[in-house]
Structure 1
Amino acid sequence: MSLGLMLVCAMCLDAALGEPDWLWSRVKHPAVMIGNLIGWLDRRLNQGTGRHLKGVGVLALLFCSAWGLGWALSLLGPVVEILLCAILLAQKSLVAHVRAVGDGLLTSLTEGRTQVAMIVSRDTRDMTEAQVARSAIESAAENLSDGVIAPVFWFLVAGLPGLLAYKAVNTADSMIGYRNEKYRDFGWASARFDDLLNLIPARLTCVMIVALSGQRSRWRAIVADARRHISPNAGWPEAAMARALNVALAGPRSYDGQLRDLAWVNGDAPREIGASEVFRACHMLWSVWGLALGLVSVWVVVKLIF
């Protein structure tokens, strides 16, 4: 079975089942196991001298181990590959988490803050309704790239080994890739390599959002906002999503009690937004997923013909 056909099956399986609680309450999710390993390495190695070199070693260990494990598991056949690929995709769970923020805002601001705190790392206690909604939409755009399009891309490029290696690096970036005193040296290699692996997927995500929303005439402005973003990759899907929904994203926010005056994305658009815009973002998530599924399906057919 071709990688493309296996990917189509995995995408549909993920969209149908998502993350079944009955399964992950009994066994550990692969991402959790990767996270546990990274946490152990962090506690053991992120101390003393030579942290930069230790961080490079951690990245090499994670990447090579994940690649080797993916290669070994791929020998078990297409059913195993499809199941693991579906597990490592995050479409349905992403939409569910983002929609929960919108539902929370319809209940109360407090509930909205509670739900958005589950998907962002910034301070949420004093967020306004608009800040909660913007945070949810930004997370939706970034994780659409990191959690859906990038895994799809790397599975097509390198099969299960490529997908597992990508997930290991991406998890490392989310845990140790911070630009603070603790992780500036130890997490540098993981953060930069994650930037490299997401370079193409982030821009593909942006292009798909632009194509679906009819915002091609605003491409120059999208590129300009993406380049001003603090992240070399997250700005691309965020800038496209902001135009697709006609909302302003990013801007000042607080981390660990410290206010960071970050640039606005699509800053001239409405900033006072709420649950309805969050739900529109969820619709866009499914639209991009549908386009990705269609493109992969066309690729499968073309490969079969030629």
Structure 2
Amino acid sequence: MFFGVALIAYITDRLFGEFPFIRHPIVLMGDFITAFQKRFYRDSILRGFWLVFWLLAAVLAIVTPITLIGNPWILGIIASTGIAGKMLYESVNNVLSDPSSIRYLVSRDTQNLSESEINKAAIETYAENLSDGVIAPLFYLLVFGLVGLFLYKAVNTLDSMVGYRNERYEKFGKVSARLDDLLNYLPSRITAVIILTFFGKLSALKKTWHYGAQHESPNAGYPIAAMALSLYVSLGGPTSYFGTIKNKPYFGEGKREITDGDVRSALALQWKLDTLVILLLAAGVYA
């Protein structure tokens, strides 16, 4: 277990967030994916497999020598670039003062969203990305070290860029999407349990599993359902994407009019999460 590196990484992210003076590793991965598509894209599962293969091979070739440094402080600072806790919190919190900023956080149509729909989108984004941006990276960093962290981030970046079920990516992005589903299976459910625990709603675990399973993603629904049940709100529901309404199921059993106060209640989870993670990682270092 890489407790020391993970502790340094988490605290560094919470204190400093993204480093504006470097080109972020995730951006570099995105550049690789874009360049590969421009030259090698075909409507083919095999061609999509080669995209995954070469990106993961490149990440492995770059990160493995870095791990030989052996200095936990250097490794922890590098690892912090794979954790997005501060950026996630600030981005969602910013929606409260600048509702139009929701367009940077979601893929749904945002031009005509009501205040309630903006707040709902903000809470859903926060819940889902607690898993993708915080818990999952920490999980793979703890278990597999720096290599595990950045391989996970590579797969997650692939899914965010090509893992769509549309005409262009149905085949090309299939391997990326399925691998992302596999890697997020445990972290998404761990995140749901953490949310329920902090809100004192572990009794709603069975309902969380019921609602979570209704999401079209095998993983995203669980943290969203946990947050909805914890806040007594209903998330999900009909949502517009590219001008077409998608009739998504509702997650939760509470009110459907989502307020700024509900967003603040969701964000209040952050200091509890910070305390838990830092204490657990510190205990791991001590042990």
- Sort the TM-score into its range (normalised by shorter chain): over 0.9
**Hey, which bits of structure 1, 4+ residues long, moved more than 6 A?**
none
Say if 2:285 is the partner of 1:292: no
Q: Note the 1:86-101 alignment, pairs <5 A.
A: 86-101=80-95
Q: Note the 1:209-224 alignment, pairs <5 A.
A: 209-224=195-210
What does the per-residue CA deviation read over 1:205-240, in whole Å, with 9 as the maximum and x for residues that have no partner?
111111111112111111100000111111111111
CA shift at 1:244, angstroms?
1.7
- Cα separation, 2, equivalents of 1:253 and 1:285: 27
- Matched residue SS, 1:209: helix
What does the per-residue CA deviation read over 1:132-158, in whole Å, with 9 as the maximum and x for residues that have no partner?
001011000111100000010000111
Identity score, percent: 37
Say if 2:259 is the partner of 1:274: yes
Per mean C-alpha deviation after superposition, the further-off stretch among 177-186 and 71-80 is 71-80
| Alignment root-mean-square deviation, CA | 1.3
Per mean C-alpha deviation after superposition, the further-off stretch among 61-70 and 131-140 is 61-70
TM-score scaled by length of structure 2: 0.96
Say if 2:4 is the partner of 1:9: no
- Cα separation, 1, equivalents of 2:236 and 2:260: 17
- Cα separation, 1, equivalents of 2:174 and 2:58: 19
Per mean C-alpha deviation after superposition, the further-off stretch among 65-74 and 222-231 is 65-74
CA shift at 1:300, angstroms?
2.5
- Matched residue SS, 1:261: strand
Question: What is residue 109 of structure 1 aligned with on the other side?
Answer: none
Aligned length: 286
- Asked if the contact 1:140/1:285 (under 8 Å) is kept, the reply is no
- Asked if the contact 1:14/1:91 (under 8 Å) is kept, the reply is yes
Say if 2:29 is the partner of 1:34: yes
Say if 2:195 is the partner of 1:195: no
CA shift at 1:262, angstroms?
0.4
Say if 2:217 is the partner of 1:231: yes
- Asked if the contact 2:193/2:205 (under 8 Å) is kept, the reply is no
Gaps of 5+ in 1: 105-111
- Asked if the contact 2:195/2:223 (under 8 Å) is kept, the reply is yes
CA shift at 1:28, angstroms?
1.2
Q: Note the 1:1-306 alignment, pairs <5 A.
A: 3-21=2-20, 23=21, 27-47=22-42, 51-78=44-71, 79-104=73-98, 112=99, 114-266=100-252, 268-302=253-287
- Cα separation, 1, equivalents of 2:96 and 2:67: 39
What does the per-residue CA deviation read over 1:159-207, in whole Å, with 9 as the maximum and x for residues that have no partner?
1111111111100000000011100000000000011111111111111
Question: Which AA in structure 2 matches 1:135?
Answer: A
Gaps of 5+ in 2: none
